[in-house]
Copies of this chain bind each other. A is one copy, B any other.
Amino acid sequence: MRISDIETPAILIDLDIMERNLARVASYARENALRLRPHTKTHKIPALGRKQIELGAAGLTVAKVGEAEVMLDSGTPDLLVAYPVIGRRKLERLMEVARRTRLTVALDNVICARQLSDAARAAQVNVGVLVECDVGMGRVGVNPGAELIELGKAVANLPRLDLLGIAFYPGHIKMLDEDGLAAIESLSQRVDRTVREFRAAGLNAEIVSGGSTPTLFHSHRVAGLNEIRPGTYIFNDRNTVETGACTLDDCAATILCTVVSTARPQQMILDGGSKTFSSDRLATGEPGFGLIREIPGALFSKMNEEHGYVDLRRAESAAVEVGDRVRVIPNHICVAMNLHEQVYGIRGGEVEQVWRVEARGKLQ
């Protein structure tokens, strides 16, 4: 099968670029003695999880129980659910996962910890726990210091839970400008102090898990950090480029689209809109829902569900025809992957792999 045989819209994964991305981060982690537990929310494909393990990842990360169930097929020896799991039925399913691989859950409250402990007791399994602290994102996580220590003690005292350490997510650090480096330095001081205090309270912090794709290659500067769980690095996207963590040449994923209308002057309509790309904007706030590789200067200005509006007024060439195909680098590849039933691994014009996005839409 050749690329020209693929029906659009469709996600293409350039395998050479993907393999280079995987190898680069595997080397970085190895060289800096960082445990790598990639977040699989980006690809949602067990075969790619397996590849990450083969390249030296210690385990895999997921957000939802449904993703954990699917990702077992990767054969991973270790799985982190980096999301609080609430509710009896979900916890029962999670305990089935714990029977099949070493399971760790990140959580930020005692209600969640008690439910997890109850489920683990009923299932007679042990579950690792990372207590989550907020380092500035303002999303989940208790305050470092006393609150974190209190939560750690509660977890350590609950049956069938093994307190393994601390998790945080520095998603607020975007690395868009020089302030990024200052934020990394401040993060480092904060994490270092937090870990010391935690250990001084007699609590286990063998794992200190942080890291996001934007801050990825600065992880060695964060004192005390010993595990990273980046997701997007396998494919990268426009947001990753903006943060300086990669260049456009490192973007492995593009979305192949067909021009379906040129009826309005200096505009073309693509057969991919928010149902294909998601309506995520660039983290910088700049306009554009994707970068059209073939037409420099074209602005992907607007979208409806099935329509991508491309403004050609400043394009180097506006000579497009209905039926033309273009490849678009999306703003945010994780959410786009979630919208596609399958994706195509390509190399040199040929389709080498067709992967079902097995963990797509696993909301629960």
Contacts and interface: CB of A to CB of B under 8 A. Distances in A.
B364 A263 contact: no
A259 to B, nearest CB: 8
B278 A84 contact: no
Interface in A14-47: 41
Contact of A278 (B63, B112, B139, B274): B274
B363 A261 contact: no
Sorted nearest first, the 4 A-B pairs with minimum C-beta distance are A140-B261, A111-B322, A7-B364, A84-B260
Interface in A301-315: 304-307, 309
Interface in A63-96: 63-64, 83-84, 86-87, 89-90
A102 interface: no
Contact of A340 (B132, B309, B361): B361
Contacts of A269: 139-140
Contacts of A278: 274, 278-279
A290 to B, nearest CB: 14
A7 B279 CA distance: 26
In this complex, which of A63, A262, A271 has the most chain B Cβ atoms within 10 angstroms of its Cβ?
A: A271
Interface of A: 5, 7-10, 41, 63-64, 83-84, 86-87, 89-90, 108-109, 111-112, 115, 132, 134, 138-142, 171, 258-264, 267, 269, 271-272, 274-276, 278-281, 304-307, 309, 321-323, 334-335, 338-341, 360-361, 363-364
B334 A305 contact: yes
Nearest to A139: B307
B322 A84 contact: yes
Given A109-B263, A134-B264, A261-B108, A139 B309 contact: yes
Contacts of A109: 261-263, 322
